[in-house]
Amino acid sequence: IYVLGIETSCDETAAAVVKNGTEILSNIVASQMESHKRFGGVVPEIASRHHVEQITLVIEEAMRKADVSFQQLSAIAVTQGPGLVGALLIGVNAAKALAFAHGLPLVGVHHIAGHIYANRLVTEMKFPLLSLVVSGGHTELVYMEGHGKFQVIGETRDDAAGEAYDKVARALNLPYPGGPHIDRLAQEGKVTIDLPRAWLEEGSYDFSFSGLKSAVLNTLHNANQRGEIIDPKDMAASFQASVIDVLVTKTVNAAKEYNVRQVLLAGGVAANRGLRAELERKMAELDHIELVIPPLSLCTDNAAMIAAAGTVLFTQGKLADMALNADPSLELD
């Protein structure tokens, strides 16, 4: 089974060909980061325009690198949502046009299902499993009993983890996106500033990061007023320690309670070195549960993960038709 995946939900124009849902034949990503950097965030109108310019080239490149013809494809999978509606529409319309022109089945994929299925490009998924999804727009614990069965057992009530990273980075005058910069500074700094951890109600697997973000901003502001200087490295280390403490503790508790066989890390923040190390350390104590962490290139937005998730939907007969539409607030479960 060869599936072409297409992803345009945010600021990456991506296309990939995946064999049997597990083997990457090509994985092309055109990032627009440089165009959005000076605005300190993704500008939807600019994103749409870049997608229009790039989409045909990126798909052609993915097909050429994979050395696969449209006749050999089994289906075309595309991110249907969530994301920026104008950006999503470019991918959805490209997928529909190609599916129609080549008489191929069309599959609509949830972007977060894609992030989770990036793990299937690394190793076999063993159910039941738990996935910690940490990205620019999402922070969720997802329980899966089988392929395509998603149950969100906890999610953020305000900011996503990546959003908190980007906002704190901005307060520290670091370039956008700030996650990788905080990660780097945190490695060099010390945890010297006492910051809150939002545990929420006993037994809750929900998250909250806006209080932490505000605490960082207030601490920086107050120090500034007093003419004191806080070392950005120490602030980065302290902020990162607070985020990781909550993410890892809740993930480990849920993995135990739900008695899972695997824990999968997913989403752009999964690239965080501190998070990866701490999750590895804590999960090592639970030696009956396997921890899977994808390589960095599969953690951030790409289309191989969309093709991988799309292959499962295709084999389950969950096909879309020409009425497929972009859905900016599509639900996972």
**Out of 7, 166, 278, 301, the residue judged to bind Fe ion by CB under 5 A:** 301
When asked if residue 268 is in the footprint of ligand ATP (CB under 6 A), the reply is yes
* Separation CA 294–CA 81 (nearest Å): 22
* Separation CA 1–CA 308 (nearest Å): 11
**Is 208 annotated to bind ligand?**
no
**Is 81 annotated to bind ligand?**
no
Q: Which segment (98-106, 140-148, 217-225, 268-276) binds ligand ATP by CB under 6 A?
A: 268-276
When asked if residue 47 is in the footprint of Mg ion (CB under 5 A), the reply is no
Nearer to Mg ion, 163 or 278 (CB): 163
When asked if residue 5 is in the footprint of ligand ATP (CB under 6 A), the reply is no
**Is 301 annotated to bind ligand?**
yes
CB of 225 to ligand ATP, least distance (A): 28
Taking residues 108 to 147 in sequence order and writing x for each that binds ligand ATP by CB under 6 A, - otherwise, the string is ---x---x-------------------xxxx---------
Kindly report the backbone phi and psi dihedral angles of residue 305, in degrees, each rounded to the nearest multiple of 5, phi listed first: -65, -35
When asked if residue 163 is in the footprint of Fe ion (CB under 5 A), the reply is no
When asked if residue 301 is in the footprint of Mg ion (CB under 5 A), the reply is yes
CB of 84 to Mg ion, least distance (A): 10
The sheet that has 262-266: what strands, in order across it? 151-155, 139-144, 129-134, 262-266, 290-292
* Separation CA 9–CA 326 (nearest Å): 9
* Separation CA 99–CA 95 (nearest Å): 6
Among 247, 75, 74, residue whose Cα is nearest residue 156: 247
**Out of 48, 74, 135, 311, the residue judged to bind Fe ion by CB under 5 A:** 135
Nearer to ligand ATP, 74 or 131 (CB): 131
Long-range contacts of 239-242 (CB under 8 A, 24+ apart): 239/168, 239/182, 239/186, 239/195, 239/212, 240/182, 240/183, 240/186, 240/272, 240/274, 241/186, 241/191, 241/195, 241/274, 242/195, 242/196, 242/197, 242/212
When asked if residue 165 is in the footprint of ligand ATP (CB under 6 A), the reply is yes
**Is 137 annotated to bind ligand?**
yes
Residue 110 interacting partner from ligand ATP, Fe ion, Mg ion, none (CB closer than 5 to 8 Å by kind): none
When asked if residue 159 is in the footprint of ligand ATP (CB under 6 A), the reply is no
Q: What angle do CA 76, 29, 45 make, to 5 degrees?
A: 90
Tokens encoding 135: 């990205």
Taking residues 292 to 311 in sequence order and writing x for each that binds ligand ATP by CB under 6 A, - otherwise, the string is --------xx----------
Could you tell me which residues are beta bridge partners of residue 204? none
- Site residues (CB under 6 A) for ligand ATP, limited to 79-108: 83
SS3 category, 143: strand
* Separation CA 307–CA 295 (nearest Å): 17
* Separation CA 333–CA 151 (nearest Å): 6
- Site residues (CB under 6 A) for ligand ATP, limited to 169-188: 177-180, 183
CB of 269 to ligand ATP, least distance (A): 4
* Separation CA 186–CA 184 (nearest Å): 5
**Is 166 annotated to bind ligand?**
yes
CA distance readout (Å), 22 to 36, 84, 216, 294? 32, 28, 41, 13
**Out of 3, 4, 6, 10, the residue judged to bind Mg ion by CB under 5 A:** 10
**Is 267 annotated to bind ligand?**
no
Question: Which residues sit at the interface with Fe ion, rule CB under 5 A?
Answer: 135, 301
Binding site for ligand ATP (CB under 6 A): 9-10, 83, 111, 115, 135-138, 162, 165-166, 177-180, 183, 267-269, 271-272, 300-301
